Structure 1
Amino acid sequence: MPEGHSVHRIARQFAKNFVGRPVGASSPQGRFAEGAAMLSSREMLEARAVGKQMFLRFDGDVWLRVHLGMYGAWDFAGVIDADATIAAANGRMGQTNQRGTVLDEPILDAAGENSLTSIGAPRRARVHVRMSEQTTGLPDEDEQWPPPVVGQVRLRLLTEETCADLRGPTACELQSPDEVVASIAKLGPDPLVDDLAEGEERFVATVRRKPTPIGLLLMDQAVVSGIGNVYRAELLFRARLNPHTPGRDVPEETVRSLWHDWTRLLEIGVQTGQMMTMDDLDPDAYRRAMAHRDDRHWVYHRAGLPCRVCGTAIVVEEAASRKLYWCPNCQA
């Protein structure tokens, strides 16, 4: 499932390539035909991400809410004017790790998580994309435009230069301004949206009154926005926190530390396009981590492998129908 960093990257891509332009809309699949007709020819005015959900505002007070869910993704084609804050992910401005090491050559992940062309569920790009920090001009004359529809496209948004295809979302619906406010009100704080201090207090107050295990609370989008299975496992390990500890029993300073760590990891995820959760890597180790998921995380997807810290076998178990990875020694 795409986690919060991916959705913020998508929103920034829409802000750079669609906001301020009239947008054509269609539903090649047919399942969103009426909604697409309502959107078509309207100017996009705003692109906003909150946690795992994105809200696109069009003139006439019409909003589009999209939740990618487990399998959804946006595929971009045509002229891509990459946001400077995420350009590192496509290699055009180099890539910078947590220690400030600049890597001049792009690092590509064969699984597709680092792909600007398919942002969301990891998959290989199906469409050709020209990318640069500052790209001008229409697609090449020998390229078909608009690009052919591939697969089950729920919604296609199209400007003169850029195409965005939505596949497999959990939610794709039009909302009124009041409905958008109500949708966002149901979500927990997002460090990239809410005031950090206020968000911290909301998060701490909610966690500290809940008997629910912290491993479940971090996945509850009403408690905190954007954290998915990968970030959940990694945040808990980094805090050396047993995932079964009731929220109300987690020390307040630990809860605050979780919020601060989530803020930091989310910013890194938006900048790099990767859920990078290991610190203090030298350039070679950082390059390996950016290219291979197995070198990127402390415990996630490492069931049965030795803990990178203590050597104990990493445990995997089911928690609310999702796999939870943790070290029974470091997180005892």
Structure 2
Amino acid sequence: MPEGHTLHRLALDLTGTFGGKSVRSTSPQGRFEAAAGLDGRELVEATAHGKHLFVAFSGTEQQAHVHLGLYGSFAFVEDPEPPVVGQVRWRLASDRVTADLRGPTACELLTPGEVEAVLARLGEDPLDPDADVERAAALVARSRAPIATLLMDQRVIAGVGNVYRAEVLFRHRLDPKTPGRDLRPSTFLAIWSDLVDLMGEGVRTGRIDTVRPEHEPEAMGRPPREDDHGGEVYVYRRDGRPCHVCGTKVRTEVLAARNLFWCPRCQRRR
């Protein structure tokens, strides 16, 4: 599933491509009937919170809401009228560029009240400069749940997915099963600050890189990672392989319905 940095980057791409322009809005698949009501309107701005995308248009208070889910994606092509390929839920087009949305979990038109209801269900977003980190810290401090579960709970922190979860816990040498209430406040604030930096870099580069300079392939004399997710990581999807820091085999198990990866030596319970 795309993580929060992907949605923020997508929001920037949509605004940069279509912002201030009247767009053609259609639903080739026929499953987003509200697309016709947006046709010919000016796209004002696309924004993101966590893994949710919102697109505002002129002349209406309603916003398009998109959740990519596991398989959703927007594809941009420099062609005002390319052929429809596959199941295109929503097509936005200008006189030069077309963006096709395929496979989202949600694609709908929401009223202002409905947008607020979606946002009210979500936790704080590390990519939001106005995020209330104290609110997120309080939710973690009151919980008996493992920190690995809390990081993936979108009601606590919005936008963190499986990769950032595994990697930030490794970077801070934390046992993934440590209860939230057992974390020192300073530890959570350090995790939050790291997520702000890592996810911000993800927005800029379009990939997830989490290893420190001394553990980069060139510094360690090791081959670069070969994985369809891209990016240099410490433990994510490296089960059975030696930890870059201590050499212990990385382990995996299912936690919060997703595969968790960690180093049993570097992340021992203190």
Counterpart in the other structure of 1:52: 51
Alignment of 1:134-149 (within 5 A): 145-149=80-84
CA distance in 2, matches of 1:290, 1:268: 20
Q: Deviations over 1:36-56 (max 9, x none)?
A: 112111111111011111100
CA distance in 2, matches of 1:31, 1:246: 43
| Shift of residue 285, structure 1, vs aligned partner | 3.3
Task: Name stretches of at least 5 consecutive residues in structure 1 with no aligned partner.
Answer: 79-143
**1:274 and 1:290 in contact (8 A); partners too:** no
Candidates 212, 223, 245, aligned match of 1:309: 245
Counterpart in the other structure of 2:63: 63
Candidates 222, 225, 242, aligned match of 2:158: 225
CA distance in 1, matches of 2:16, 2:215: 33
The aligned amino acid for 2:180 is G
CA distance in 2, matches of 1:307, 1:284: 13
Counterpart in the other structure of 2:261: 325
Q: Deviations over 1:205-227 (max 9, x none)?
A: 11000111111100011101111
Q: Which structure is richer in relative contact order (CA contacts within 8 A, separation 6 or more)?
A: 1
Q: Deviations over 1:246-292 (max 9, x none)?
A: 11111111111110000010111011111010111598739946998
CA distance in 2, matches of 1:202, 1:295: 31
Q: Deviations over 1:90-128 (max 9, x none)?
A: xxxxxxxxxxxxxxxxxxxxxxxxxxxxxxxxxxxxxxx
Counterpart in the other structure of 1:83: none
Candidates 245, 261, 270, aligned match of 2:194: 261
CA distance in 2, matches of 1:239, 1:12: 30
The aligned amino acid for 2:52 is Q
The aligned amino acid for 1:258 is I
SS at match of 1:42: coil
Counterpart in the other structure of 1:195: 130
Counterpart in the other structure of 2:9: 9
Counterpart in the other structure of 2:22: 22
Alignment of 1:13-162 (within 5 A): 13-32=13-32, 34-59=33-58, 60-78=60-78, 145-162=80-97
| Percent pairwise identity | 49
| Shift of residue 73, structure 1, vs aligned partner | 0.4
Candidates 91, 96, 99, aligned match of 1:164: 99
**How does the TM-score come out when normalised to structure 2?**
0.92
**1:278 and 1:297 in contact (8 A); partners too:** yes
CA distance in 1, matches of 2:230, 2:96: 37
CA distance in 2, matches of 1:190, 1:290: 30
Corresponding pairs, count: 264
CA distance in 2, matches of 1:175, 1:293: 32
Q: 1:8 to 1:27 in 2, by over 3 A?
A: same
